[in-house]
Structure 1
Amino acid sequence: MTKDKTGRLHVTVRSGRKRKLSSKLWLERQLNDPYVVRAKREGFRSRAAYKLKEIDDKYKLLKPGMAVVDLGAAPGGWSQIAAAKVGAVDRKGRVVAIDLLEMAEIPGVIFAQLDFLDDEAPEKLRAMLGGGADLVMSDMAANTTGHRKTDQLRIVGLVETAAAFACEVLKPGGAFLAKVFQSGAEAELLAQLKRDFTTIRHVKPAASRQDSSERYLLATGFRGQQRP
């Protein structure tokens, strides 16, 4: 353990025979990430919680009494923030989290292990919400192959599908927030969002690593009618 230029302690992970260099670098970055350390200290399940918190602090998306859908929610950092902001624990608001993976219980959050791509998913979600959603949010990322163009298409395709799903369950005036990665493949996605929402913004919270192309699309003012 050493100190970096700012005087903070820096953990160095030793290389082992069974540990790949990429794994070593990832582990070292995690151990030295101030947001990871802070999340553990403050009881959040992931550093991603601070990304949503920072976006909400700026744009005031989450309000008491709202109905929120968290797509690809596991391990639950975003659901934790949403539940606290909308008053889900006190049953003022409601948060429904869905994921293909299991997720440990979060107070105030209704969890369903299902695929949002299933034809019956929107109907099931509206039943759990007791109506439409005010916000659909997604911090999902598609599995990568290492081939840049293929990965860009996968990432954008996932967001396009999530946006189409949001239009199935959002109330008029609702919002959609999703993670994307900066690329040249977003034109069709942006056109789709501009048709369905009044305002589109690109957002990069401070909790997103500066060396990452990760950013978020925030679409507000859903124009459509909740579909039957």
Structure 2
Amino acid sequence: MTDDDTPPERRRMVRPPTGGTAAGRGMGQKIRTAEKKSLSSQEWIKRQLADPWSERARAEGWRSRAAFKLIEIDDRFHLIKTGSRVVDLGAAPGGWVQVAVNRGAAAVVGVDLLPVDAIPGATLIQADFTEAGVDDQLIAELGGLPDLVLSDMAHNTIGHRQTDHLKIIALIEIAAEFALRTLRPGGAFVTKNFQGGDAGGVLADLRAGFETVKYVKPSSSRKDSSEVYLVALNRLR
């Protein structure tokens, strides 16, 4: 990212996740086809079924357990305000979009490589966010500049530590560039990161552009996961 008005060359996102639709990320489809899955996939299904957060999400009607991560972050920092505009990058299967709508956002636009089932009160776009013009489409659908940019984007890991790490950082950089370029003054940005991930360049840009930047690990994140979230508060101008 640069300090002048010329945005850096946009990088293409990794290939779309394989196998099914966003709805297939829910448990119903996976349970029905478990016997056809690989051993690792079957183990993932077992963990989901035994996970109290996933069980609670199903009981309360959330699209995924990830909803509780945003709920906890919002309870702490009060990011979603009545009447605010929210963009969700990497929206499938829609849990964060649901939270934003339910907490009073006036306009919510989500984008993902996979299709996402309709959510009343939100606009959902199936597209590669890193493609030229998609960012402008998001702002047009939103009806103005966002007050909050969320990114729970992930990529397909290939098992090579260095390559996977670079892909993680690339997605964070792309989301941060969008947030810094489009957020209203006073706005906020939340993005997924991983403990031990060198996001030094991104952190420097965020600390220069926001009043406060914090790392948060929601209690609904799995204990054995290195997942954390960067929360940037009060966009400066």
Report if TM-score (shorter chain) is over 0.5.
yes
Partners of 1:115 and 1:53 in 2: how far apart? 26
Structure 2 equivalent of residue 167 of structure 1: 180
Structure 1 equivalent of residue 13 of structure 2: none
Equivalent AA in structure 1 for residue 49 of structure 2: L
Deviates more, 1:21-30 or 1:66-75: 21-30
Which consecutive residues of structure 1, in runs of 5 or more, have no partner in the other structure? 1-12, 88-92
- Identify the match of residue 158 of structure 2 among 120, 145, 148: 145
- 1:105 paired to 2:123: no
Classify 1:24/1:218 alpha carbon distance in 2 versus 1 (closer, same or farther; 3 Å).
same
Please provide the CA RMSD for this pair. 1.8
Q: Retained in 2: the 8 A contact 1:122–1:168? A: no
The structure with the larger Rg is: 1
Partners of 2:147 and 2:214 in 1: how far apart? 18
Give the length in aligned residue pairs: 205
- 1:86 paired to 2:104: yes
Partners of 2:136 and 2:39 in 1: how far apart? 45
- 1:67 paired to 2:80: no
Q: Retained in 2: the 8 A contact 1:140–1:179? A: yes
Q: Retained in 2: the 8 A contact 1:135–1:175? A: yes
TM-score (ref. length: structure 1): 0.85
SS in structure 2 of the partner of residue 201 of structure 1 = strand
Classify 1:17/1:69 alpha carbon distance in 2 versus 1 (closer, same or farther; 3 Å).
closer
SS in structure 2 of the partner of residue 102 of structure 1 = coil
Partners of 2:217 and 2:110 in 1: how far apart? 23
- 1:35 paired to 2:48: no
The structure carrying a bigger strand percent of its residues is 1
- 1:155 paired to 2:168: yes
Equivalent AA in structure 2 for residue 23 of structure 1: S
Q: Retained in 2: the 8 A contact 1:135–1:174? A: yes
SS in structure 1 of the partner of residue 147 of structure 2 = strand
Classify 1:184/1:102 alpha carbon distance in 2 versus 1 (closer, same or farther; 3 Å).
closer
Partners of 2:111 and 2:35 in 1: how far apart? 38
Equivalent AA in structure 1 for residue 55 of structure 2: V
Question: 1:21, CA displacement in angstroms?
Answer: 3.3
Q: Retained in 2: the 8 A contact 1:72–1:98? A: yes
Question: 1:18, CA displacement in angstroms?
Answer: 5.9
Per-residue CA shift, 1:179-220, capped at 9, x if unaligned?
Answer: 111124211121121122121000001000011000100011
SS in structure 2 of the partner of residue 173 of structure 1 = coil
- Identify the match of residue 58 of structure 1 among 76, 97, 103: 76
Per-residue CA shift, 1:131-180, capped at 9, x if unaligned?
Answer: 10000001111211111122111111111111101123211111110111
Partners of 1:38 and 1:190 in 2: how far apart? 34
Partners of 1:65 and 1:80 in 2: how far apart? 15
Classify 1:103/1:18 alpha carbon distance in 2 versus 1 (closer, same or farther; 3 Å).
closer
Question: 1:46, CA displacement in angstroms?
Answer: 0.4
Partners of 1:171 and 1:41 in 2: how far apart? 36
